[in-house]
Amino acid sequence: MKITVMSAYFEPEITPYTHLIADLCRDWASYGAEVTVITGMASRGLDEATRQEYLNRTDEYLTPNIRVRRIGPKSKEPSQLWARGLRYLYQTHVQYKTARDTDTDVYFIGSTPPFLGVLGTWLKKKAPTLYTLHDIFPDSLINTGRFKEDSLIIRLGRRMEQFTYQQNSHIHTISEDFKEILVSRGVPENKISLVYNWIDEQVVVPIEKKDNILISRYGIDPSKYIVTHCGNIGHSQNLEMVVDIAAELEKELPDLEFIIIGDGGTKSDLERYVQDKGAGNVRILPFQPYEDIAHVMSLGDVSLVCSKRNVGTSSFPSKTWSIMSAARPVISSFDLNSELCTIINRANSGLCSDAEDKQGLKNDLLTLYNDRPRAAELGQNGRQYIEKNLTRKAATKQYYDIFTALVQAEGHQAAGRVAEHSKGISS
């Protein structure tokens, strides 16, 4: 089987999803597939030397069965939303032209940027398309609080959303909440497959502080009680509330330190906010290489998953699995009626307070700060849940089975068209 992957980002770029795409490609290749990745020029989360190196690696084979084609703008990705949107639009155009000319049996199309999903209209004339939905657009824009339902960009987004759902051959999503939203918007249930994101439990393993390379890399005091937030720093994460809590607790608990590891569109704003609040117990570190992910996710005594209100139905922070795989308790400030909180409670792997409930989040932090044995137990529960339910091999095989079904269905349809055509000739 020949699989063409269309993704905005790919390794060595550092985003919440690039390691998932890389896992998929490697596992599909191990099942015998020939995989072609069509992506942008490497930029996100890289130092300048690495970015420059990859400007010359526009067409390479990672393995005999995995080809990566990097195309599009060579400049750094802009931070302004409008400029990034224009870049995405151009990037989508050049990705389409390359994908159209690629020999393939099936297309795997990412949902970032949302323009990519529209391409299924034309690409499915050549081969079936599987659109993978990690964020529901434009709901994700509304949930940041920056756009209203009646704004022009949201109205256009709604049309793009419906067009994407209608035109792609099949849709994959990562949560039951997402699936319910799709069905409520008219997508037939038999056109949707649910496969949770996973974590490679053999890569993300618990690491003791004394063995954690980030301790020496950044001069972190291992005797501190460390609260981490790892991942995107954007409008929906509500990290200002975390900084407020840190500032309130700084004098009361001098051994408490908050470490935010990541990048994103509002990182510079958050850095200024930390300075303005005088929160000396908050540090912001850059994204780390994926090979260090076990150290990243094991750094904290507890780790946070935070968002603004009403984000829970249109966003599913899969970094939660990484926290659990590292045997660290999850402290969630997220919509209580979300699937995320349901799973955390089912796994007994952490504590949940409602989104934007600052006192609730603060209380949960203090609860585990004062009860270290319970925190350790929650962390171990999370690790066990991952091992039983969310392993890499099980998830990537489910995707491959979806591809197989799509290709077989396309073959049957093509045979049917040929039969009907032959019948018309004979008559």
pLDDT digits (tens, 9 = 90+) for 279-320: 999 999 998 988 999 999 999 999 999 999 887 666 778 889
Q: What is the DSSP letter of 174?
A: S
3-state SS class at 228:
strand
Residue found by looking up tokens 């929160």 in the block: 279
Which residue, 122, 128, 123, is CA-closest to 105?
128
Which residue, 291, 336, 53, 303, is CA-closest to 177?
336
* Whole-number Cα distances in Å, 54 to 17, 26, 289, 345: 19, 20, 15, 43
* Whole-number Cα distances in Å, 332 to 203, 342, 354, 358, 375: 23, 11, 8, 11, 14
Half-sphere exposure of 6 (CA within 13 A, CB side): 35
Buried b (16+ CB within 10 A) or exposed e, 61-91: ebeebbbbbbbbbeeebeeeeeeeeebbeeb
Per-residue confidence in pLDDT tens, the chain, 427 aa = 999 999 999 999 988 788 899 999 999 999 999 999 999 999 888 889 999 999 999 999 999 999 999 999 888 877 777 787 788 888 889 999 999 999 999 999 998 887 888 888 899 999 999 999 887 776 766 666 667 777 877 788 788 888 889 999 999 999 888 899 899 999 999 999 999 988 889 999 999 999 999 999 999 999 999 999 998 898 888 999 999 999 999 999 999 999 999 988 889 999 999 999 999 999 999 989 889 999 999 999 999 999 998 876 667 788 899 999 999 999 999 999 998 999 999 999 999 999 999 999 999 999 999 999 999 999 999 999 999 989 888 899 999 999 999 999 876 564 343 333 333 333 3
Beta strand pairing call for 129-133 and 330-333 = unpaired
Buried b (16+ CB within 10 A) or exposed e, 274-308: beebebebbbbbebbebebbbbbbbbbbbbbbbbb
Edge-to-edge strand list for the sheet holding 225-232: 282-285, 256-263, 225-232, 302-306, 330-333, 350-353
CATH of 209-389, one of 3.40.50.2000, 2.40.50.140, 1.20.58.1030, 3.40.50.280: 3.40.50.2000
* d(C-alpha 178, C-alpha 174), whole Å: 7
Q: What is the DSSP letter of 77?
A: P
Every domain of the chain with CATH number 3.40.50.2000 lies at 2-198+392-423, 209-389
Buried b (16+ CB within 10 A) or exposed e, 326-341: bbbbbbbbbbbebbbb
Half-sphere exposure of 194 (CA within 13 A, CB side): 12
Residue found by looking up tokens 């439990």 in the block: 201
* d(C-alpha 270, C-alpha 45), whole Å: 17
Domain 2-198+392-423 has CATH 1.10.10.10: no
Q: Are 370 and 256 in contact (CB under 8 A)?
A: no
* d(C-alpha 26, C-alpha 242), whole Å: 37
